[in-house]
Homo-oligomer: A and B are copies of this chain.
Amino acid sequence: MKRKPSTEATAAWIRLMRIQGSVLDAVEQDLKKAGFPPLAWYDALLELSRAPSGEMRPVELEKQMLIPQYSTSRLIDRLVDEGLAARRECKIDKRGQFVEITEAGRELQKKMWSAYSAAIEKHFGSKLSDADALKLCGLLDRLGCSCDEAPALAPREGAPTR
């Protein structure tokens, strides 16, 4: 009788957990050493900068980033504190609000992308051929939870994370 998670699946699981962790760690360390804030900030700024008018509802941001509501709320707090984003009132729904990226926010996002993309290349891209990367995409996509799956996985620039 076959084992429930096959030996192969278990081996792949272990690697997925370990390798992702160490590669992400290496990238975040590079960013931190370059004096940049955490990647979550980048992800948020990227999403905001992509929004048609540079602003979006916290709920939207939350869905895009796959992070819990309170986490979004506090992340926005920090961005606002640093002048990277601003809260705008939402006239059509007084419970809510809009968050708008500032000029400083756009600039930081761009600067971070320089460092971030370099780190991705160094710790990840340089170790795979494009063909390998495509294979990896294919395999990982098969794991995509039936659930949401962030809509616009950006064929453009900048890589959101997590």
Contact = CB atoms under 8 A, between A and B. Distances in A.
A120 interface: yes
A158 B12 CA distance: 13
Contact of A5 (B12, B17, B21, B120): B120
Contact of A143 (B4, B13, B121, B124): B124
Interface residues of A, number: 56
B6 A130 contact: yes
Interface in A118-162: 118, 120-121, 123-125, 127-128, 130-137, 139-145, 147, 150, 153-155, 159-162
Contacts of A15: 136-137, 140-141, 153
A152 B14 CA distance: 12
Nearest to A139: B136
Contact of A6 (B13, B133, B154, B161): B133
Interface of A: 4-24, 26, 66, 117-118, 120-121, 123-125, 127-128, 130-137, 139-145, 147, 150, 153-155, 159-162
Given A11-B133, A15-B141, A127-B142, 20 more contacts: A4-B121, A6-B125, A7-B155, A10-B117, A10-B159, A11-B134, A12-B136, A14-B153, A14-B159, A14-B161, A16-B20, A16-B124, A16-B140, A17-B20, A17-B161, A19-B143, A22-B145, A22-B147, A124-B143, A135-B135
